Amino acid sequence: MDWYVANMATVETLRKSNKNAGLKIRHFCYNVLFDVKTI
């Protein structure tokens, strides 16, 4: 799950500079994680 941790760190950085973009990316990461778990 290192890639997920790295993505979340990136999301946090982006969220601080642009909340809207950060939220979109965060939702995308969650959707990807959900897809991986579903598969």
Please state at what angle helix 2-17 crosses helix 19-38, rounded to 10 degrees: 160
**What is the span of the domain harbouring residue 14?**
2-38
Is the pLDDT at 1 greater than 60? The verdict is no
Q: How many domains does the chain have?
A: 1
Residue 4 pLDDT level (bands cut at 50, 70, 90)? confident
- The pTM of this model reads 0.32
Q: What is the mean pLDDT of residues 11-29?
A: 71
State both tokens at 19: 């909340």
Predicted local distance difference test score (pLDDT) of residue 21: 64
Is the pLDDT at 38 greater than 70? The verdict is no
Predicted local distance difference test score (pLDDT) of residue 7: 79
Is the pLDDT at 11 greater than 70? The verdict is yes
